[in-house]
Amino acid sequence: MDSAPAFQFAITYDRDSVRAAAGTLFLMQQRRMLVFSLGSLIFCFVTIGAIGWYLHFWWMFWIPPGFLALHVLLGFYTRWAIARRLDRTMTDKSVQIQFSDASFSLTSENGSHVLPWKNFKSTLRDAENLLLCFARPGAIVIPAKAAPAGAVEFAEARVREANAAV
């Protein structure tokens, strides 16, 4: 059975915290994909460059920069899509949060969720938020300014303890 909550508070997501969370989530995703993206681009440059040089198809040298430009445009779109999704689902929504020694609890108009601290693999802070990160890309966003004094440090300590025990 879960112990009494150490912290219990309500939060409302504002546009600034949602915008900061979108940027942080985008960078988390890009860091995970960095090796694959760079490897693919380098492979494309080398392979298409070699084929174009061997066959004297000089027009093929435009393909790798085209892929690079497409990759950059896709990055901008991905950042925009993450921000839009978070803005639609979180802005001006009220959520009840509870931190206890054993679990994290979240209650909103969409339902209630209780997660043990071991479900979170790490924590991350940005300018506005605490992000409780899962093993796969994704996180629960908690605006730090809405949390009571000591709640953010409490959550970070519980996640570190849960991961140290594993």
Give the per-residue pLDDT at 3.
Answer: 62
Give the per-residue pLDDT at 78.
Answer: 94
Give the per-residue pLDDT at 2.
Answer: 52
Beta carbons within 10 angstroms of residue 151's beta carbon: 19
- For residues 114 and 83, state if they share a domain: no
Domain boundary pick from 89, 114, 144: 89
Q: pLDDT tens digit string along 88-118?
A: 888 777 889 999 888 889 888 888 889 899 9
Most confident residue range from 74-78, 140-144, 151-155, 159-163? 74-78
- For residues 85 and 95, state if they share a domain: no
Tokens 């879960």 — which residue? 2
Give the per-residue pLDDT at 77.
Answer: 97
**CATH code: domain of residue 111:** 2.30.29
Q: For residue 10, give both structure tokens.
A: 């309500």
- Give CA–CA dist 111/134, Å, rounded: 20
Give the per-residue pLDDT at 138.
Answer: 83
Structural domains in the chain (count):
2
Q: pLDDT tens digit string along 22-74?
A: 999 999 888 888 888 889 889 999 999 999 999 999 899 899 899 999 999 99
Alpha-carbon 136 to chain mean position: 9
Domain boundary pick from 69, 89, 109: 89
CA nearest 39: which of 16, 67, 61? 67
Q: For residue 67, give both structure tokens.
A: 């892929």
Q: Domain limits at 47?
A: 15-89
Beta carbons within 10 angstroms of residue 54's beta carbon: 8
Beta carbons of 132 and 138 less than 8 angstroms apart: no
- For residues 98 and 51, state if they share a domain: no
Give the per-residue pLDDT at 146.
Answer: 84
Beta carbons of 24 and 131 less than 8 angstroms apart: yes
Give the per-residue pLDDT at 110.
Answer: 80
